[in-house]
Structure 1
Amino acid sequence: MGRWRGAAVDGRAGGRVLGDVDVARAIDVCALDPVASILATARIETAARVGLRAAGGQLWGFEADGVLTAVCWAGANLVPVVPDGDPAALDAFAAMGRAQGRRSSSIVGEAAMVLGLWERLSEHWPRAREVRADQPSLVISGDPVVAPDPRVRRTTTADYDAVLPACVRMFVEEVGYSPVSGSGTGPYETRVRTLIAEGWSFARFEDGHGSRRPGGVVFKAELGAVAGGVAQVQGVWVNPARRGEGLSKSGMAAVVQAARRDIAPVVSLYANHYNERALAAYRAVGFEQVGTYATVLF
């Protein structure tokens, strides 16, 4: 991974804010567990292209014996990546988090690291709205074992007006509030447009059958993060009027097939442990659990 060449450690228990010169080494740290670290890797790979300032967050680092061994992306989400589980790295990142105050809407990533970091921050940051401590992390690196739905396709800019309401309904079901700004140009709307433009948004459209409008969405999913040879599926949703028909299985099979063919050889996702129906559907497609995520929501 190499030694740091940037500024000296800032004195907060061995942690410091990294600079552009450190980005390549940070990617090396994430590569030790590309599935667990994908949310950080995606942001750091963006920083490698456009610079940390333009990437929309800070990159924190921790060194042991002069070698970068752990990193933490601090942006809209706080994402610790500590491959060896070193508690000293969590101490360092917690010290930096206490010094800066809460700026992120969540802490998310590998469960032991997220929960360890939150334990160190919980007495200093505002109370969490929810702690999701057990979110199985699943992957598939081969062909799906159920037939893909031939009607699931990449969405286009012409589909935006149908896709956005489905995305909002999924978000409200999952998080409990609407993410839209009302102006049509807020960050969530921009995010949906960007995923469509990247070719990372997939849906099945169908007339009637409980959809809100002709041509409405009955299944949708996005690749919310792509980095390090991994594509992470997020935002899986089936129209409530069509649930129980197996659309999530065949729809996810179609997403996996397209993602592995065109984007990344490994497809991952994570879900709440109590969402037994969704987890059963993912396992039926061929996903296998490789770890556990956790999310602290503010």
Structure 2
Amino acid sequence: MTALWPEARERTAVAPLADADLLSLHRLLALDPLANAVIISRVQSASSLDPRRLGGSVLGIRSRGEVVAACYSGGTVVPLGGDAEDLARIAQCVARRPRAATSVVGPTEAVCAVWGELEQRWGAPREFRAGQPLLVLRGSSRVAGDRAVRRVRGAELDRYVPAAAAMFAEELGVPPDRCGSPAAFRGRVGELVRSGRAFARFDERGEVVFKADFGAVTAHTVQVQGVWVRPDLRGRGIGTAALATVLRAALRSAPSVSLYVNAFNAPARRMYEKLGMREHSLLTTVLL
């Protein structure tokens, strides 16, 4: 975890951050722009810290007028920076609020600091996934791409949503309607398609063979999510070539492309290594 001016222990009370804190929060987020990519992207898109626009609130602690620790609290709890003591204080405030989160995600040390407090109120997790490598690629992969991979078109949404739902269920162990309504899930997938951030390869029947999304796009990185190959076609190198195309597309938008992977997913880790991705840090996910 990284803190601004860790030697200064004068701290304010935990409080929701507002638009007046945007610049200071951006400075905190910029200490690790890869780990914080999703929230950086969300804040930039909303241009506000108003929970109604952001989809959740950001609680923070200030010192000498600067935000030195913060945590996003919405459908996911995401520690955004600060030392363990400050994050534990913020987590105590998050735990006292009505719970909307279905997961906690972030750098391993930060998640452990937050989860130590949240678990006392929220109980045991459904699953605790420690040591998930956050990988990064800063130059073009040497792996040849797949020319059949392209951005998903609006008219293909009905074919893309089932693949997205299958990936979600496989990755998180529950169907997407357990974490919200089917309409809300379709809406989120539809927004990825409309914004040109959903990629797929279709077979001759129009079914999705491979998919991946740009989950976050910032000035520092494109963070890829939802990488999936249809189960009956795995082990044939389809994912490697297809993802190489997606990574090249990402590097046209930012100087790096990043993603994180479960520590236990050996085939995926081998694929990412072959594509030239290297470990930046370790994340932890708590599934609730």
- TM-score when normalising by structure 1: 0.88
> Is 1:222 matched with 2:213?
yes
2:141 alignment partner, one of 139, 144, 159: 144
Which deviates the most, 282-291 or 224-233? Answer: 224-233
Instruction: Judge conservation of contact 1:43–1:73 (CA < 8 Å) in 2.
Output: no
Distance 1:124 1:51, change over 3 A: closer
Alignment of 1:274-293 (within 5 A): 274-293=264-283
User: One-letter code of the match for 1:226?
Assistant: V
Distance 1:28 1:52, change over 3 A: farther
Aligned to 2:166: 169
1:109 alignment partner, one of 106, 110, 116: 106
Distance 1:131 1:13 in 2: 31
Aligned to 1:5: none
1:267 alignment partner, one of 249, 253, 257: 257
Distance 2:279 2:49 in 1: 34
Alignment of 1:58-207 (within 5 A): 58-82=57-81, 85-180=82-177, 186-207=183-204
Instruction: Judge conservation of contact 1:37–1:110 (CA < 8 Å) in 2.
Output: no
Identity %: 38
Aligned to 1:17: 16
Distance 1:133 1:27 in 2: 27
User: One-letter code of the match for 1:252?
Assistant: L
Instruction: Judge conservation of contact 1:20–1:52 (CA < 8 Å) in 2.
Output: no
Deviation at 1:52, TM superposition (A): 4.0
Alignment of 1:233-248 (within 5 A): 233-248=224-239
Distance 1:64 1:184, change over 3 A: closer
- TM-score when normalising by structure 2: 0.91
User: One-letter code of the match for 2:282?
Assistant: T
Deviation at 1:50, TM superposition (A): 8.2
Deviation at 1:16, TM superposition (A): 0.9
Aligned to 2:244: 253
Q: Deviations over 1:9-52 (max 9, x none)?
A: xxx97321111111222112111110011122122223325844
Deviation at 1:228, TM superposition (A): 4.1
Which deviates the most, 125-134 or 138-147? Answer: 125-134
Alignment of 1:52-63 (within 5 A): 52-63=51-62
User: One-letter code of the match for 2:61?
Assistant: F
Q: Deviations over 1:45-73 (max 9, x none)?
A: 23325844322111111123442112211
Give every structure 1 segment of 4 or more consecutive aligned residues whose post-TM-superposition deviation is greater than 3 Å. Answer: 49-52
Which deviates the most, 90-99 or 131-140? Answer: 90-99
Q: Deviations over 1:63-88 (max 9, x none)?
A: 23442112211111111011xx5122
Give the secondary structure class of the aligned counterpart of 2:120: coil
Distance 2:17 2:34 in 1: 23
Aligned to 1:27: 26
Give the secondary structure class of the aligned counterpart of 1:186: helix
Distance 1:87 1:65 in 2: 19
Aligned residues: 279
Give the secondary structure class of the aligned counterpart of 1:147: coil
Q: Deviations over 1:118-162 (max 9, x none)?
A: 012211223211111121100001101201111110111011111
Give the secondary structure class of the aligned counterpart of 1:133: strand
User: One-letter code of the match for 1:67?
Assistant: E
Unaligned runs of 5+ in 2: 5-10
Instruction: Judge conservation of contact 2:17–2:49 (CA < 8 Å) in 1.
Output: no
User: One-letter code of the match for 1:98?
Assistant: A
